Amino acid sequence: MSEEAVEATGPQVRRLGDWAAADLADLAAEYDTPLYVTDLERVQANATRLRAAFPDADVHYAVKAHTGQAVLRAVRAAGLGAECASAGEVVRALKAGFEGREIQYTAVNPPATDLDTVVERWRDDAAGLTVVAGARDTLDRLRDRGFDGRIAIRVNPGVGAGHHAKVTTGGHAKFGVPYDRAADLLADARDDFDVVGIHAHAGSGISGEDLDAHRELVARMGDLARDVGDLEFVDVGGGFGVPYHEDEPPLDLGAVADATREALGDVDARLAVEPGRYVVADAAVLLTRVNTVKEAEGVAVAGVDAGMTTLLRPAMYGAYHAIRNLDADGRRERPVTVAGPVCETADLFCEERPLPDPRRDDLLAVGNAGAYGYEMANTYNSRPRPAEVVRDADGVRLAREREGLEALTALEGDE
Ligand SMILES: *Cc1c(COP(=O)(O)O)cnc(C)c1O
């Protein structure tokens, strides 16, 4: 990437150490913890860097990584479209100002209410929206509802890539139409719909080492596109990895873009990509405060007020997130286990990691919390969801209120 491009899009990665400790401490004092802090300028820099790397491709942001309205607006302002995985995400995208033609809805075993809602919005205020169908049944159900708009066919390319088996989707039978049946389904679909594209998503966490799998997927999609002809776009999915470990190098976007172009070959259709994680991961941190410190066989266990209900990735994927003690200048390091308040052994942010000796009331920052962070927050153990503040050129504001205890029983009425 040229130096001007770096200037416009910021450094390729923002590490946890790059966040100003004093600012984070002020925010924790003002808004309490646990607290997500999201930097919208970083979101826009990431989005702009993607567009620069794929200058002639359509870039849709995979909304499920972070669906907050402030983030969606920032992403739209940076020129990305919205890739939605549910009717709820379509509704959120429309609310944030995306127009129908900027929205792609990828239906995986869509519940009836999802299809009802999406078709209704398509008739109403989201004309131009594209539905990505991964099964013949989905096309039938759309036809039953009178949908005759833009369709793309999700193909199972038979190759997957990802940082964990649970996010490797490309080769799994759950996702998409088997490769060798895609051309037939596509031809049938042309009778009733405006077939505009083919789509595949290999999984999450494409790194430099995984480029071969990515190349293979893209090459297959290129072959299919040449085979069926007359398409507007070939969507090769998202999955661009981010360096969760502090010593991991950032993804070489230019290399991914080159490999993608080369593997796709000559096709008479636009390239489309749909990254989620890459756009938001390093744009947010989670702040949490130590409330309990315990000695256990040479290890310090630091109990904190965030847990697997606040940030699920460590418990669900064994994911690594950098942790920084913002109050521990100069304290010696020792093995520290950081544990949440939920009654589950999986409720740990790290185990026996070298960190400064913890003390009660220390403020910890958890890095790379922007993607699938707040989004996967839940209320297990009756823990209300945390607050989120966003920062942009105008300053800091509350983007999502902290959930109150009354919300926990609100759906149960006043029995
Ligand atoms: C989740 C998802 C993405 C985004 O994946 P990231 O790893 O966040 O980039 C893109 N496309 C589809 C269909 C997805 O389900």
Segments forming the whole domain that contains residue 73? 40-279
Helix pair angle (179-189, 136-144), 10° resolution? 20
Q: Which residue of 71, 90, 154, 201 sits with most ligand 1 atoms within 8 Å of its CB, as the best mutation to test the pocket?
A: 201
What's the 58 CA to ligand 1 centre distance in angstroms? 15
- If one counts the domains in the chain, the total is 2
Q: Which residue of 274, 277, 278 sits with most ligand 1 atoms within 8 Å of its CB, as the best mutation to test the pocket?
A: 274
- State the catalytic residue, choosing from 343, 393, 405, 411: 343
**Domain finish residue from 260, 279, 298:** 279
Other residues' Cβ atoms within 10 Å of the Cβ of residue 410: 10
d(CA 280, CA 375): 11
Q: Which atom of ligand 1 is nearest to the CA of 175?
A: 13
Tell whether 259 and 289 lie within a shared domain: no
**Domain finish residue from 240, 256, 279:** 279
pLDDT score at 317: 94
One-letter-per-residue 3-state SS of 334-390: EEEEEECCCCCCCCEEEEEEEEECCCCCCEEEECCCCCCCHHHCCCHHHCCCCEEEE
What's the 167 CA to ligand 1 centre distance in angstroms? 9
What's the 204 CA to ligand 1 centre distance in angstroms? 6
For ligand 1, residues with CB inside 6 Å are 62, 64-65, 83, 85, 106, 201, 204, 237-240, 274-278
What's the 201 CA to ligand 1 centre distance in angstroms? 7
Tell whether 63 and 198 lie within a shared domain: yes
pLDDT score at 7: 56
Tell whether 44 and 147 lie within a shared domain: yes
Tell whether 105 and 167 lie within a shared domain: yes
Question: Is the pTM here over 0.85, yes or no?
Answer: yes
**Which pairing describes strands 35-39 and 387-392: parallel, antiparallel, or unpaired?**
parallel
**Domain finish residue from 248, 279, 310:** 279
CB 366 within 8 A of CB 333: no
Other residues' Cβ atoms within 10 Å of the Cβ of residue 380: 14
d(CA 61, CA 81): 6
d(CA 72, CA 58): 17
Q: Which atom of ligand 1 is nearest to the CA of 241?
A: 7
CB 154 within 8 A of CB 106: yes
CA-to-CA separations, 111 to 77, 84, 108, 186, in angstroms, rounded = 31, 14, 9, 22
Residues in the chain: 415
Residue pLDDT tens, the chain, 415 long? 555 555 567 889 999 999 999 999 999 999 999 999 999 999 999 999 999 999 999 999 999 999 999 999 999 999 999 999 999 999 999 999 999 999 999 999 999 999 999 999 999 999 999 999 999 999 999 999 999 999 999 999 887 555 555 555 556 788 899 999 999 999 999 999 999 999 999 876 677 776 888 999 999 999 999 999 999 999 999 999 999 999 999 999 999 999 999 999 999 999 999 999 999 999 999 999 999 999 999 999 999 999 999 999 999 999 999 999 999 989 999 999 999 999 999 999 999 999 999 999 999 999 999 999 999 999 999 999 999 999 999 999 999 999 999 999 999 987 6
Tell whether 254 and 354 lie within a shared domain: no
Decide if 3 is inside a domain: no
Tell whether 47 and 122 lie within a shared domain: yes
CB 185 within 8 A of CB 227: no
What's the 281 CA to ligand 1 centre distance in angstroms? 13
CA-to-CA separations, 138 to 15, 96, 99, 152, 257, in angstroms, rounded = 42, 27, 23, 12, 32
Q: Which atom of ligand 1 is nearest to the CA of 276?
A: 8
Q: Which atom of ligand 1 is nearest to the CA of 277?
A: 8
Tell whether 393 and 405 lie within a shared domain: yes
Decide if 25 is inside a domain: no
Tell whether 308 and 221 lie within a shared domain: no
Instruction: Identify whether 343 is a catalytic site residue.
Output: yes
Nearest to 88 by CA among 113, 125, 57, 56: 113
